[in-house]
A and B are shown apart, each in its own frame.
Chain A
């Protein structure tokens, strides 16, 4: 990505910067417009910190009407807009552009309604993921998707990225837990999709919006499903001599009809890093460590713990500890949750990847990764949402060594190619953003990508919203819109006709 090409800045926009800043101030009075270099510096990057760019101007609107006016203004003048929530994207989804207004939604930070009878919360998009749970936990409720950045990431950003988390095997992704949104199109039109009822009417635009990475519209309100917290949760910590055995144990648990609340796996380098960092009591003689969490009524959890233990033994586990208290359960998780900082201690920098594979391919992919690791001369540690096949390889590198970032990125790209090769995908939950943009052709051919871009054209025909993200190459909507008609060909001689 050091070779990352972003859309060339529009000279006309840059030349009119002062005028645009002034106009933004008339739309958003007070402190809501930031145009100094120092003020804008905090917004120059998101969670993908290798890439930085100061925006044209930062605008922090407070009302839907302001968002609508800003977008309409920019649309009419051909000015680009990059929306941003909390800026925790790991794929550069909120990376600013030199000639784009950075639309920061953090002031939309209020919970608008809590409706226990219908089990929904209506929130503004800047409310944090955890903030929703905090608002309802006194009544014993919570919001299920729990990305690891949940203390900081915003619910609007969760919609944009279709965020997952440890519990999504059982409870689903953002897409499965959002009932409705209000959004503003680039034209300034305000549209509501879904609500407190189930299934949005007409085309599933809510489904298209979820995971659209800020390219289709700006979310201004979100209605989510809340659930009553499970009565209890217990975890098993299971060690295996080989990744194959660990993988087979996961398959057998699922095969037995058990859907755990969470099922995480770590490979040997990740286990060692976590143990060195936290002394969580992880075994150092295992190739694979599995954490299986079961939640629900006490009776059910106790019943399933026994079943999982038997499956682990059958698969040759060399260690199987069962949590007997909440402290112990949290201790099992502590090493996994601290895996990223733990790995971070081993090396000045690390690069987190996010492929998903069919679970049974895990041994093959881990072996391939070891081979690549030797080829590139860079170490890699793996944490793995084992239940749903989502891999997070952490590549260790040193950005101060010339060329090493490049090497880490090439290594990462090869890992993702491997994921696609075995039937998997480029990104499970972090998004394409700028990071994996140029890898999209590994998974999709040109016609596939054209269809996705046609969705974009229906929402934002001028390509003004978050350009340079997701699509490796932008094609004009007018060009995409042309029909390539092959008239007069011998039509389907072989199709049975009646």
Chain B
């Protein structure tokens, strides 16, 4: 059992080339904040990229930033904030949900897990903002893809191919991302007391407007009071975030109030409170309870999320809250059994999507598929891609299995 801790891309190449030659599987980690997600990796050795750190290029006026894979996202976010910029896709921090500290995830992990946040519905995920990568495949070959410019269709977009691959195709050593100006002002409309179907209708109206809503979430009774130290009060809460320049935010908030006419009890929260609320929704804070109770991250069509949760609760005790206009369902099962078959049959019944078991006791992660099982033709295609990039199965073997 060896832990390799390379500090350069060349050292990563050496380590992976050795592992490929010896057919010695590697667990690829940054700070290990998302180690609990996926099936347990069967590897004798560890490739620890946390020492491969540092921002290598940042040109704010070109909206571009490059960093070594082990650079903490928090460090980059601080640098961007100094220049009034950010990762527009609002990458979540899995640390607290999985029982770890906040602010430790790396930029390589951000790509490997294709992270995003509440703004996903407007701004996309990590996959939509990655411009280029340097990586080492499971064959021990160093390669690059993409570049540092926003518009680029030169060759296949391997950067996207590695987004959400959980380190099973190649070890990313350097990444380049598009960055964007952070909004000058934000304001969140808080609607109290909507039941599920009225909530879904209100969110659809808001998202179907030209108000450029950048966050659309619903926290049912029992969840809302766990957010932002109780700032949202009790009872169910539906949230709509508006961001931009001051005069525009004020106008659009007014416009949304008009569109939601007839909806009772609308408040507005601003500045730090608004930021805290959305950060906690992003990081699934209501379920960051220090337990190992199963947590599912489910993506379905926005109109279907609440129906899925309702149907699930008829069969098993569970808590749920909703982001992405209702299409992202965070579920916490109140008993030990994640009820994988039940959850997935409901996803299928709701028109399709996927359910990922992001937290569960280790035994469950071994016995149920953590990632959404794929139909045979798609599963075979994914397996062929894995075989092309990692024929000896040395990179995070078993993790996505």
Instruction: Assess the A432–B154 pair: CB atoms within 8 A.
Output: yes
Interface size on B, residues (CB 8 A): 105
Taking a contact as CB atoms under 8 Å apart, the answer to whether B299 and A498 are in contact is no
**Are A191 and B353 neighbours in the complex by a CB distance under 8 Å?**
no
Q: Is B377 on the interface with A (CB-CB < 8 A)?
A: yes
| A-B complex: 4 closest residue pairs judged by Cβ atoms | A207-B160, A300-B248, A257-B181, A201-B354
**Does any Cβ of A come within 8 Å of B233's Cβ?**
no
Interchain CA distance A432-B319 in the complex, whole Å: 49
User: B21, A485: Cβ atoms under 8 Å?
Assistant: yes
- CB neighbours (8 Å) of B120 from chain A are 198-199
Among A428, A480, A496, the residue within 8 A (CB) of B5 is A496
Residues of chain A within 8 A of B378, CB atoms compared: 191-193, 202, 205
Q: Mark A179-222, 1 if CB is under 8 A from B, else 0.
A: 00000010001111101111101111101101110000000000
Count contacts between A and B, CB distance < 8 Å: 309
| Distance of B187 from chain A, by nearest CB (Å) | 14
20 A-B residue pairs with Cβ-Cβ distance under 8 Å, sorted by A, are A116-B208, A185-B377, A195-B352, A198-B125, A201-B354, A203-B385, A207-B160, A208-B156, A230-B210, A251-B61, A299-B251, A423-B148, A431-B153, A447-B143, A451-B145, A452-B155, A452-B158, A481-B388, A496-B4, A497-B3
Q: Are B184 and A257 in contact, with the CB atoms below 8 A?
A: yes
Q: Judge whether B84 is part of the interface by a CB distance below 8 angstroms.
A: yes
Determine whether B150 belongs to the interface, using a CB cutoff of 8 Å to chain A. yes
Task: Kindly identify which residue among A140, A255, A448 contacts B143, using a CB–CB cutoff of 8 Å.
Answer: A448
When distances are taken between beta carbons in the complex, the residues of chain B under 8 Å from A245 are none
Q: B12-20, B96-104, B309-317: which one contacts chain A?
A: B12-20
Partner of A470, one of B121, B155, B303: B155
Please state if B20 and A255 are interface contacts (CB–CB under 8 Å). Answer: no
Q: Which of B224-267 contact A (CB under 8 A)?
A: 244-245, 247-248, 250-252, 255
Contact in complex: B248, A297 (CB < 8 Å): yes
Q: Which residue of A has the minimal Cβ distance to B47? A: A495
Question: Interface stretch among A41-49, A77-85, A276-284, A384-392?
Answer: A384-392
Assess whether B209 is in contact with A199, with CB atoms less than 8 Å apart.
no
Knowing A299-B248, A455-B156 are in contact, say whether A494-B20 is a contact too (CB < 8 A). no
Once the chains bind, are A201 and B372 in contact (CB under 8 Å)?
A: yes
Q: Does A378 contact B (CB under 8 A)?
A: no
Contact B303 A117 (CB under 8 A): yes
B-chain residues with CB within 8 Å of residue A11 when the two chains form the complex: none
Distance in Å: Cβ of A490 to nearest Cβ of chain B:
9
B20 touches A168 (CB 8 A): no
CB–CB B381/A176 < 8 A = no
Which chain A residues border B61 with CB–CB below 8 Å? Answer: 251-252, 254-255, 359-360
| Contact pick for A458, options B128, B152, B248, B388, CB 8 Å | B388
Query: B62 in the interface, Cβ–Cβ < 8 Å?
Result: yes
Contact: A451 with B302, CB < 8 Å?
A: no
- Chain B contacts of A486 at CB under 8 A? 17, 21
**A207–B152 Cα gap in the complex (Å)?**
13
Residues in chain B near residue A191, CB distance under 8 A: 375, 377-378, 381
Q: Do B244 and A300 touch (CB < 8 A)? A: yes
Point out the residue from B154, B184, B382 that lies within 8 Å of A443, measured CB to CB: B154
Alpha-carbon distance A470/B156, docked complex (angstroms) = 9
Contact assessment for B210 and A454 in the assembled complex, using a CB-CB cutoff below 8 Å: no
Knowing A119-B207, A197-B354, A299-B248, the reply to whether A451 touches B137 (Cβ < 8 A) is: yes
Does A321 make an interface contact (CB < 8 A)?
A: no
| B 111-164 contacts with A by CB, 8 A | 114, 116, 120-121, 124-125, 127-128, 137, 139, 141-145, 147-158, 160-161, 163-164
Q: B144 — nearest CB in chain A belongs to which residue? A: A448
Does A12 reach chain B (CB closer than 8 Å)? no
Given contacts A197-B353, A297-B252, A492-B4, is CB(A389)–CB(B151) below 8 Å? yes
**CB contact list, B36-94 vs A, under 8 A:** 51, 59-64, 84
How many interface residues does A have (CB within 8 Å)? Answer: 109
Knowing A254-B61, A432-B155 are in contact, say whether A423-B163 is a contact too (CB < 8 A). no
Q: Indicate if B95 sits at the interface (CB-CB under 8 A).
A: no
A176, A456, A484: which contacts B128 (Cβ < 8 A)? A176
Query: Within the assembled complex, what's the spacing in Å between the Cα atoms of A4 and B150?
Result: 29
> A50: CB under 8 A from chain B?
no
Please state if A203 and B5 are interface contacts (CB–CB under 8 Å). Answer: no
Tell me the minimal C-beta distance from A325 to chain B in angstroms: 20
Residues from chain A with a CB closer than 8 A to the CB of B382 are 202-203, 205
With beta carbons under 8 angstroms apart, the residue of B127, B180, B381 that contacts A185 is B381
Q: Does A94 contact B (CB under 8 A)?
A: no
Within 8 Å of chain A (Cβ to Cβ): is B324?
yes
- A98 within 8 Å of B (CB atoms): no
Per-residue contact bits, chain A 478-493, to B (CB 8 Å; 1 contact, 0 not): 0011011111110110
Known contacts A189-B377, A199-B127, A208-B156, then 10 further A-B pairs from the complex at CB < 8 Å, ordered by chain A residue:
A117-B204, A199-B125, A201-B372, A203-B165, A204-B161, A207-B157, A299-B247, A423-B148, A492-B6, A496-B51
A172 within 8 A of B: yes
Q: What residue in chain A is nearest B116 (Cβ atoms)?
A: A199
Q: Are A451 and B149 in contact (CB under 8 A)?
A: no
Question: When chains A and B are docked, how far (Å) is the Cα of A97 from the Cα of B218?
Answer: 54
Residue in B closest to A254 when the chains form the complex, CB atoms: B61
Q: How far is the CB of A493 from the nearest CB of chain B, in Å?
A: 9
The winner among B63, B121, B137, B145 for most chain A CB atoms within 10 A is B63
* B196 within 8 Å of A (CB atoms): no
| A204 and B114 contacting across the interface, CB-CB below 8 Å | yes
Give A185 to B384 CA distance when docked, in angstroms: 13
Interchain CB contact under 8 A, A447 and B148: no
Please tell me if the beta carbons of A118 and B143 are within 8 angstroms of each other in the complex.
Answer: no
Residues of A within 8 A of B212 (CB): 296
Checking B121, B143, B400 against A451 with a beta-carbon cut-off of 8 angstroms, the contacting residue is: B143
User: Which chain B residues lie closer than 8 Å to A483 at the CB level?
Assistant: 20, 139, 391-392
Q: Is A371 an interface residue (CB 8 A)?
A: no
B276 located at the interface, meaning its Cβ lies under 8 Å from any Cβ of chain A in the complex: no
By the criterion CB–CB under 8 Å, are A358 and B352 in contact? no
A388 neighbours in B (Cβ, 8 Å):
149-151
Q: How far is the CB of A162 from chain B (nearest CB, A)?
A: 5
Q: Which residue of B lies closest to A300 (CB)?
A: B248
Verify B4–A495 contact, CB threshold 8 A.
Answer: yes
A450→B60 CA distance, assembly (Å): 33
Q: Which residues of A contact B333 (CB under 8 A)?
A: none
Within 8 A of B (CB), among A116-169: 116-120, 140-141, 161-162, 164, 168-169
Alpha-carbon distance between A360 and B5 when the two chains are bound, in angstroms: 37
CB of A223 to closest CB in B, whole Å: 10
Residues of A within 8 A of B364 (CB): none
Given the complex, which residues of B lie within 8 Å of A208, measured CB to CB? 156-158, 160-161
- Contact among B5, B22, B149, B210 with A228 in the assembled complex (CB-CB below 8 Å): B210
Those of A251-282 within 8 Å (CB) of chain B = 251-252, 254-259
Q: Are the C-beta atoms of A300 and B247 separated by less than 8 Å? A: yes
Q: Are A257 and B84 in contact (CB under 8 A)?
A: yes
**Complex CA distance for A175 and B126, rounded to whole angstroms:** 13
Docked-complex contact A389 and B149, CB < 8 angstroms:
yes
Q: How far is the CB of A198 from chain B (nearest CB, A)?
A: 5
Determine which of B14, B125, B169, B210 lies in contact with A229 in the assembled complex, contact meaning CB atoms within 8 Å: B210
A382 within 8 A of B: no
* Docked pose: A487 CA to B161 CA in angstroms: 29
Is A106 interfacial (CB-CB < 8 Å)?
no
Q: Which chain A positions have C-beta within 8 A of B154?
A: 425-427, 432, 436, 440, 443
